[in-house]
Amino acid sequence: MEIRPTTDKDLDVFVDTLHAAFGLFPETPVEGGGLWWSALEMDRCILARTADGRPVGTAATYSFELTLPGQSLVPVAGVTAVGVLPSHRRQGVLSAMMRHQLTELRARGESLSVLLASEALIYGRFGYGPATYTAQLKAPRHKAALAAPRARGEAEVAAAGSVEVLRRAECGEILEEVYDRYRRAQPGALSRPHRWWALRAGQPPVSPAPRYVAVHRNADGVPDGYASYAVESGTLTVDETIATDDAVFTALARFVLEHDLVSKVVFKQVPSDHPLRWQFADFRAGEVSGDMDWLWVRLLDVPRALTARGWFTDGELVLDVDDPFLGEHDRYLLTVQDGKADCVPTDREPDLSLDIRDLGSIYLGGTAPSTLARAGHIRAHHPGAATLADNLFRTERSPHCLHWF
Ligand SMILES: CC(=O)SCCNC(=O)CCNC(=O)[C@H](O)C(C)(C)COP(=O)(O)OP(=O)(O)OC[C@H]1O[C@@H](n2cnc3c(N)ncnc32)[C@H](O)[C@@H]1OP(=O)(O)O
């Protein structure tokens, strides 16, 4: 088995192998990869070949920026396009590609890798843990009146701005600009490189229904949010609601909930604890479903990753971290003061013992260490250890990611 990086010349063979691995795409891919795969960075893809040169496995990484708690931004590798031909499965091809890729990412100096998992059983063994979650919120329109916000004044609500309906083709760079402002402030969000917008990749898979975009503008006419939606058989589905603050989200929600000739509104890709549920006058109007993992995180350099994010409570914690796939085992003293962390090797007795995948799950603040301790995955070495870790890892808001790659 040989694993080697690709160049632009390999695009067609890469896409052809990937399609055969998934079996879901056309047998003969469009020459040049088609719109979606043309977003691949061919110098960041790998092909696995058998000894006789037959390509049997693919994997790729995109270059993204991830927003961490505290709104710090770090470059991350977004792993994608992973596939092994059905004829060559369970022979260690993926394991070999993962080893190659993680080594390569470290050599590039990256401290974090992320992915969306097609199946939840695949990536834990390689050190990835689910770190953000997503759900859909459904409401029958006749029950979905929004209550007046009890703590906000009338003037604050009235200053919300205006909404205009545009076709995608009319949006120009509005969506890209608004998304960029949103993602910089939202822990767990990923950048969408400019060429993705140009290719219209990364946006939700498009159904055959005509798609509209409700663009929100502030009182000065500056776009500060949008909702991309389609109406089919009486259901209005919002694929993506991007808002630079909560009042903008509310204005967009109100807009779609007041749409005529619609009996049901579905907000896709929202955090399950989204405040919208609390804004319905009838608390039972909003039904949360499809709650699932979204972004999986893998730490490649524990001290660098832990010191890159923002912290909100001072304290100290000793973490004993096992990384079985890379054959590493290290103990770190994490000290947080005034929002910043220091992380150094230590011989002190540990507060927690955990697998690198569990560190990935708690890293962005979307899963409490105590939850994984209760599940029997993280070992707390004394009664207060899990609570101590909960307090330390807690973040300003739940991480969320709605970028699809
Ligand atoms: C980020 C993304 O791109 S997600 C997309 C992932 N790709 C797909 O889902 C496409 C269809 N599936 C495939 O192409 C392949 O089955 C892959 C890529 C998931 C796995 O490739 P393989 O070469 O078979 O994996 P490999 O042989 O290295 O397996 C390593 C271990 O993982 C286990 N494993 C691999 N895939 C799965 C799975 N889907 N479910 C459960 N266990 C799995 C194997 O059993 C093996 O376990 P072991 O070490 O205990 O024996």
Domain spans, the chain: 2-110, 133-290, 301-393
356's CB contacts (< 8 A; 6+ apart) are: 127, 129, 298, 299, 302, 321, 322, 323, 325, 326
- Residue 206 has what pLDDT? 46
Please report, in tens digits, the pLDDT of each residue of the chain (405 residues total): 999 999 999 999 999 999 999 998 877 777 777 777 888 999 999 999 999 999 999 999 999 999 999 999 999 999 999 999 999 999 999 999 999 999 999 999 999 999 999 999 999 999 999 999 999 999 999 999 999 888 876 656 655 699 999 988 788 889 999 999 999 999 999 999 888 887 766 565 545 567 899 999 999 999 999 999 999 999 999 999 999 999 999 999 999 999 999 999 999 999 988 999 999 999 999 999 999 999 999 999 999 999 999 999 999 999 999 999 999 999 999 999 999 999 999 999 999 999 999 999 999 999 999 999 999 999 999 999 999 999 999 999 999 999 989
- Given CA atoms 369, 374, 376, 382 in this order, what sign does their dihedral have? positive
| CA atoms lying within 13 Å on the CB side of residue 239 | 19
* 80 Cβ inside 6 Å of ligand 1: yes
Q: Are 44 and 6 in contact (CB under 8 A)?
A: no
CA angle 131, 132, 137 (to 5 degrees): 155
CA distance 189 to 181: 11
263: annotated binding-site residue?
Answer: no
Q: Whose alpha carbon is nearest atom 41 of ligand 1?
A: 121
- Given CA atoms 144, 146, 147, 150 in this order, what sign does their dihedral have? positive
78: annotated binding-site residue?
Answer: no
The CATH number of 301-393 is 3.30.1050.10
C-alpha 90 to ligand 1 mean position (Å): 7
C-alpha 366 to ligand 1 mean position (Å): 26
Q: Are 252 and 225 in contact (CB under 8 A)?
A: yes
| Residue closest to 133 by CA, chosen among 323, 402, 386, 369 | 402
* 81 Cβ inside 6 Å of ligand 1: yes
Ligand 1 pocket test, pick from 36, 45, 62, 82 with the greatest ligand atom count within 8 Å of Cβ, gives: 82
* 82 Cβ inside 6 Å of ligand 1: yes
Atom of ligand 1 nearest to the CA of 91: 27
CA distance 114 to 97: 15
* 3 Cβ inside 6 Å of ligand 1: no
User: What is the length of the chain?
Assistant: 405
297: annotated binding-site residue?
Answer: no
Catalytic residue among 123, 212, 363, 393: 123
The CATH number of 133-290 is 3.40.630.30
Atom of ligand 1 nearest to the CA of 115: 1
Q: Whose alpha carbon is nearest atom 45 of ligand 1?
A: 90
- Residue 75 has what pLDDT? 97
Active site residue 64: no
211: annotated binding-site residue?
Answer: no
* 90 Cβ inside 6 Å of ligand 1: yes
pTM of the model: 0.96
Give strand pairing partners of 337. Answer: 340
C-alpha 149 to ligand 1 mean position (Å): 48
Catalytic residue among 179, 212, 229, 405: 405
CA distance 150 to 196: 40
Active site residue 405: yes
- Residue 215 has what pLDDT? 96
Please name the fold of domain 2-110: Aminopeptidase (3.40.630)
Atom of ligand 1 nearest to the CA of 116: 1
- Residue 110 has what pLDDT? 96
* Token couple for 332: 């770190």
CA distance 136 to 405: 19
* 100 Cβ inside 6 Å of ligand 1: no
- Given CA atoms 215, 181, 265, 234 in this order, what sign does their dihedral have? positive
C-alpha 80 to ligand 1 mean position (Å): 13
Q: Which residue is associated with the tokens 């919120």?
A: 137
Query: Maximum CA pair distance of the chain?
Result: 72
Q: Which residue is associated with the tokens 């101590």?
A: 388
2: annotated binding-site residue?
Answer: no
Domains 2-110 and 133-290 share a fold: yes
ipTM over 0.90: yes
* Token couple for 328: 């590493």
* Token couple for 76: 């991350």
* 79 Cβ inside 6 Å of ligand 1: yes
